[in-house]
Amino acid sequence: MEKMSRVTTALGGGVLTGRTMHCHLDAPANAISVCRDAAQVVVAGRSIFKIYAIEEEQFVEKLNLRVGRKPSLNLSCADVVWHQMDENLLATAATNGVVVTWNLGRPSRNKQDQLFTEHKRTVNKVCFHPTEAHVLLSGSQDGFMKCFDLRRKDSVSTFSGQSESVRDVQFSIRDYFTFASTFENGNVQLWDIRRPDRCERMFTAHNGPVFCCDWHPEDRGWLATGGRDKMVKVWDMTTHRAKEMHCVQTIASVARVKWRPECRHHLATCSMMVDHNIYVWDVRRPFVPAAMFEEHRDVTTGIAWRHPHDPSFLLSGSKDSSLCQHLFRDASQPVERANPEGLCYGLFGDLAFAAKESLVAAESGRKPYTGDRRHPIFFKRKLDPAEPFAGLASSALSVFETEPGGGAMRWFVDTAERYALAGRPLAELCDHNAKVARELGRDQVAQTWTMLRTIYCSPGLLPTANLSHSMGKGGSCGLQLMNSFNLKDMAPGLGSETRLDRSKGDARSDTVLLDSSATLITNEDNEETEGSDVPADYLLGDVEGEDDELYLLDPEHTHPEEPECVLPQEAFPLRHEIVDTPPGPEHLQDKADSPHVSGSEADVASLAPVDSSFSLLSVSHALYDSRLPPDFFSMLVRDMLHFYAEQGDVQMAVSVLIVLGERVRKDIDEQTQEHWYTSYIDLLQRFRLWNVSNEVVKLSTSRAVSCLNQASTTLHVNCSHCKRPMSSRGWVCDRCHRCASMCAVCHHVVKGLFVWCQGCSHGGHLQHIMKWLEGSSHCPAGCGHLCEYS
Amino acid sequence: MAEGENEVRWDGLCSRDSTTRETALENIRQTILRKTEYLRSVKETPHRTSDRLSNTESSDGLNKLLAHLLMLSKRCPFKDVREKSEFILKSIQELGIRIPRPLGQGPSRFIPEKEILQVGSEDAQMHALFADSFAALGRLDNITLVMVFHPQYLESFLKTQHYLLQMDGPLPLHYRHYIGIMAAARHQCSYLVNLHVNDFLHVGGDPKWLNGLENAPQKLQNLGELNKVLAHRPWLITKEHIEGLLKAEEHSWSLAELVHAVVLLTHYHSLASFTFGCGISPEIHCDGGHTFRPPSVSNYCICDITNGNHTVDEMQVNSTENVSVSDSFFEVEALMEKMRQLQECRDEEEASQEEMASRFEIEKRESMFVFSSDDEEVTPARDVSRHFEDPSYGYKDFSRHGMHVPTFRVQDYCWEDHGYSLVNRLYPDVGQLIDEKFHIAYNLTYNTMAMHKDVDTSMLRRAIWNYIHCMFGIRYDDYDYGEINQLLDRSFKVYIKTVVCTPEKVTKRMYDSFWRQFKHSEKVHVNLLLIEARMQAELLYALRAITRYMT
């Protein structure tokens, strides 16, 4: 084929100019291709086949190749390609399976050159050899690829993919003889053009059809593939096995993929359905597209970079019947809208957060973030000079470690494991839990339990009995009683006495004030509280007005008897040291009031001394007790639960909720309960306390929670012989007809709990194995392994 | 008499553990005995009017139980249950209670019972399928028993159906069954309607809805229009239909719900085609599947009569006589020969573009007029018409008036590229399941044709598939529609056309008169192709409308 006069002069090495623009086509486009002079583009579709000149300000229609009166299916194009060597040569793939070549140099109106009707089904893709003038490759729905020499009337060779349909074929740009083809079944094949008998290499690239592929213009052996599974993958073909280098997850199936010229890691994609935008990705940052073009109103069907060495002009055709030129500088950059901040807690109290570097720098200059016991670790992303957006979305990651042991949540685990939540009378449960809490040094919690017991379990007791009881034991029972009364009536007294104006009265202050009677100052170093610059509030509640209606307890009365004592702190002994201070109501510390306390820190305010001497006082107040119905306290208990929950001790809230059951449930709204439950379960699961968490789920009355352990209860087992899943029954394999799980002790099939040694993989009935290992440390199967049962 | 105590729980029988099944059966036995005792005691005492009422009620209840037991004794995949159920029935009979017996001739009226796999003689793979199906639904329906001719397909079918009806999805369970009822009722398929009425009630659906579509929530009523168009003239679906459903104030559907509903509708439309196409008999435990009368009284099955079918005797005569063996033998030979010819001369004889296009148009137009001559009016067997509106709307009117079906080009919107992506986006995993099902149905082959082995049937299968799509106006650019005329003879076309467009009119005669030498399993295979092609065609139109709405 001889080269005829050029249709237009090429921009001889000049700079491309233009702007973002679009033009309306008469019909939806299926594919576009650019002439090598970067000044013309061909658009092909079912009922359109035109060449447009790309001018400075607009597209100008140059030529309509669809001539003839009756439109033929040969003109219904699925794909079009412009030869990159010869400006007059085009090829189209028709939906009826015909491959047509066009010679723009023909003098007549009809430029159709040759017709190849060898494919039986739709031809999905045609591709010219990048350097050879006469070699054309086609891939069709019938599963064949054909190589045509344009100087001959029929195909030179036929390649059978042994599969249903070929979706894309692409000649390698670097390797003269190689081409890649992608298939509907998810495979990618590499072929040598000289060897039509079998492919050089085949691998499964995607789940479902692979719609497109593109060779990297510079990096030898890099192939990008896009599939219906919404992924773009970059493969390195130079190694022995095709290696997946990068994977970009998009939001819709990928219809086309094209490497961006001059940008090694960039590629453009458009999707087959639903999503109309064109994205340019940096394959190293697979989560946020580097750029996005949003001009089209329907799916984009064809994309092409205007010039093989200019990264800023992208052309696209769409089902919405328009042709667009996109300028890279006009693209929207999702990364600008991205939020580069993140915060996450580790299991052991480590805290990591990422923020814009600028912010972090400013912040850390301003305030020392790090206490002497916390070590920040900084990671900084290496800046890549080739990365144009590095500055935009880079963020610094800081990790704060708590000192080993410092933030130990041992108490949480112990409490969770040892608490009794059901199955015994309320009184016993309360006592038990109080005991547990006390043993763990959480006295306030212990006290709460004891109070609960008193409130809900002893309404029948006579005041005198109560009195003697508390007297006799010097016990906590009476004490708690008193305290629970104290909390409201003491407040005004204290408040009036000391007039601390910094107090912030809120609901929680009731409970805080409970401890005010103890008048212990627990002083701690405030810096610890989340780096807050707010000094700890020494609070005295000026409590809500209604408080004074309650029983009077003269605060004066209590104070003289206040002992000095040092109390163990419950939550973070290392961080909150308690200092002896002279008695005095005025220095009550209330951390709870500080808005900066984070809930999960579980900083339980330092509170609540247990003091037996108190019991003396309680006498007078115990008298009031028994006349009151337990309902009377429900508000109080509710507030108490809220208090604990907000302190971060959701464990307490949930435990009390479960233990008290109906007694308080009605007072707390469903959503809050559910929230508590889920938080607690989440915590338990983080600590891998599966049994406890399951028990909590089981005991919960909230529907949403109790259905948690009803979901995904299926257990899938594989046969131990043939390794295939056992579908019908858990113990007999359908395929090899063997019983998969035999007990090594009794040699019967295990149908229930099966326990096995992870060392030698022998096992059997739980009871049998347990019994066996009591007597022997060797494996019951006789394999000689020393099994361990823990 | 306390109902709760006598409520029978069948779910224990679905267990794979034989001891669980045993206890469940024992409970059932005791309940039935109690009921029987009660009935007898009532009989002995003098009747009062109120008593009589409750008497008929409870004897109805007992009969239902007995029918269910009968079903179990025949159709349960577990041998122990079959035997025990039979034993219970026997012992009841000894007590003087009339027990039911199955009506009809096995799962299908068209296929002799002996051709169909007997429960109990299945191989391991089929047994696993049966057990799965039984575990999921508590029954082994006749559809399954017929489809098991092609276990590979059946597996995929059951998986999909199970997912659609019972697994995660945007629609509540009773909605799903109700939509199934609506869809099946569109084709007056009382078999499917009965089946799903039971399921609908079982999952807690409101029995009031069953009195008619106007008693269902407005949201479901809105779906009626789409159901109607989809079943009979899917090419008329526009984005306005979709918009109407999605923007109906408080009754609007979400996109995900709509896709779920559309998949269900198309599934049940095509399943109705299968039911009629293979002449599925009523389930043993449903109405019309059993009788309490002694054998001599009746030879008729209600459904046979109402569906325009004939009595058993007549049918048997039909199938054996009029065609001589040699005739039908030549049929197969001729078909084989044509396929060979087409294969060979494909490249030589090139039809012009115009001719190719006109061939499609001709085929499409002709398909409108392909109808059996015996076109008697059919009255719905049961009162199924109440589940949909506008009963006169059907495929027939349109074909008689020669309306034009616009051409839908697969190359512009196909299942693999577009439909799949849309479904999978809005109703995850289902796209995958349906895609697998289409693939299996389209590619299923045993390389046999009647008595011939090692035949490449792909051309024939493609002709059938494309013929069905052609009836819906769906065109493949790369297909020569002349092939259809060569490969499918008139009686076959009549059958295809009837099964796909007006399944309620399929008769045993039609079934028998096409492909006379072919095996029943091959005819079932054809049916699988028909229903999948139909489902895909409907889905394509519906999904294209949704896509257009979204853009």
Task: Give CA–CA dist A223/A283, Å, rounded.
Answer: 12
Residues A76 and A96: their CA atoms lie apart, in Å, by 8
Do A272 and B418 count as a contact with CB atoms less than 8 A apart? yes
Q: State both tokens at A141.
A: 């729905």
Q: What is the pLDDT of residue B509?
A: 84
Q: How many domains is chain B built from?
A: 2
Contact of A286 with A295, CB cutoff 8 Å: no
Residue B326 belongs to some domain of the structure: no
Q: Is B123 within 8 Å of chain A by CB?
A: no
Residues of A engaging B, defined by a Cβ cutoff of 8 Å: 28, 46, 70, 72-74, 76, 78, 94-97, 117, 119-122, 141, 184, 208-209, 211, 228, 252-253, 255, 272-274, 276, 297-299, 320, 727-729, 734, 737, 751
- Answer whether residue B491 is part of any domain: yes
**Token representation of residue B332:** 């197969």
Task: State pLDDT tens for residues A293-330.
Answer: 988 888 899 999 988 888 889 999 998 889 999 988 88
Q: Which ranges of A302-425 would DSSP assign to H, the alpha helix?
A: 334-337, 357-366, 390-393, 410-418
CA A107 from chain center: how many Å?
62
pLDDT score, position A651? 85
Chain A partners of B416 at a C-beta cutoff of 8 Å?
Answer: 184, 209, 228
pLDDT digits (tens, 9 = 90+) for B361-391: 777 776 666 554 444 444 444 455 555 555 5
Residue type, B464: I
> CA B485 to CA A245: how far, in whole Å?
52
Selected residue of B416, B465, B474, B481 to mutate for chain A interface (largest A Cβ count, 10 A): B416
Asked whether residue B177 is domain-assigned, the answer is no
Which spans in A284-349 are helix H?
334-337
> A158, A154, A113: which is closest to A139 by C-alpha?
A158
Picking from B324, B279, B335, B277, the residue whose alpha carbon sits closest to that of residue B451 is: B335
Q: Chain A neighbours among B 457-516 (CB < 8 Å)?
A: 476-478
Domain membership of residue B421 (yes or no) is yes
- pLDDT at residue A615 in the model: 38
Residues of A in contact with B350 (CB under 8 A): 117
- Angstrom distance (rounded) from CA A144 to CA A161: 6
Looking at residue A304, its pLDDT comes to 92
- Domain map (residue ranges) of chain A: 342-400, 409-455+631-711
Parent domain of B415: 350-375+383-550
Q: What are phi and psi of B85, to 5 degrees?
A: -60, -40
Q: Evaluate whether residue B93 is within a structural domain.
A: yes
Backbone angles phi, psi at B418, to 5 degrees: -100, -55
Which pLDDT does position B394 carry in this prediction?
56
pLDDT for the residue numbered A211: 93
Task: Name beta bridge partners: A742.
Answer: A749
pLDDT in tens, A732-772: 666 666 666 777 788 777 777 777 777 777 778 888 888 88
Predicted confidence (pLDDT) at residue B270 exceeds the cutoff of 60:
yes
Structure token digits, residue A262: 């001059």
Neighbours of B121 (CB within 10 A): 8
Whether B411 sits inside 8 A of A273 (CB atoms) is no
User: Where do we find the tokens 């405030």?
Assistant: A526
The helix (run of H) or strand (run of E) holding residue B541 is: helix B520-550
Kindly state the percentage of chain B with pLDDT values over 70. Answer: 76
Lowest model confidence (mean pLDDT) among A294-308, A509-523, B339-353, B466-480? A509-523
Quote the ipTM score. 0.76
> Which H or E element spans position A684?
helix A670-686
Residue B371 lies in a domain: yes
- In chain A, which stretches have pLDDT less than 70? 1-15, 69-71, 347-349, 357-395, 401-408, 458-631, 709-717, 719-740, 789-790
When pLDDT is averaged across residues B40-62 and rounded to a whole number, the result is 62
Q: Across the interface, do A298 and B551 touch by the CB < 8 Å criterion?
A: yes
Token pair belonging to B385 = 């018409």
Q: Are B470 and B360 in contact (CB under 8 A)?
A: yes
Closest chain A CA to residue B436 = A208
DSSP per residue, A687-714? TT-HHHHHHHHHH---HHHHTGGGSS--
Query: How many residues are given for chain B?
Result: 551
What one-letter code names the amino acid at A302? G
How many other β-carbons are positioned within 10 Å of the β-carbon of residue A93? 28
Considering only alpha carbons, which residue of chain A is nearest residue B420?
A: A228
Which pair of structure tokens corresponds to residue A576?
A: 């909150």
Nearest CA in chain B to A276: B551
**What pLDDT is recorded for position A496?**
39
Decide: A542 and A597 in contact? Cβ < 8 Å. Answer: no
Residue range B420-426: average pLDDT?
88
B456 touches chain A (CB under 8 A): no
Distance from CA of B387 to the nearest CA of A (A): 34
Q: Where in the sequence numbering do the catalytic residues of B fall?
A: 189
Q: At residue B486, does pLDDT exceed 70?
A: yes
CB atoms within 10 A of CB A734: 17
User: Which pLDDT value is given to residue A519?
Assistant: 39
Of A573-587, A772-786, B40-54, B179-193, the range with the lowest mean pLDDT is A573-587
Q: Token match 């004891």: residue? A: A450
Whether B316 has a pLDDT exceeding 90, the answer reads no
CB contact under 8 A, B411 and A76: yes
Can you tell me the distance from the alpha carbon of A301 to that of A307, in angstroms, rounded to the nearest whole number?
A: 19
- Please check whether residue B420 touches A, CB under 8 A: yes
Which residue from A277, A216, A287 is spatially nearest to A250, judged by alpha carbons? A287
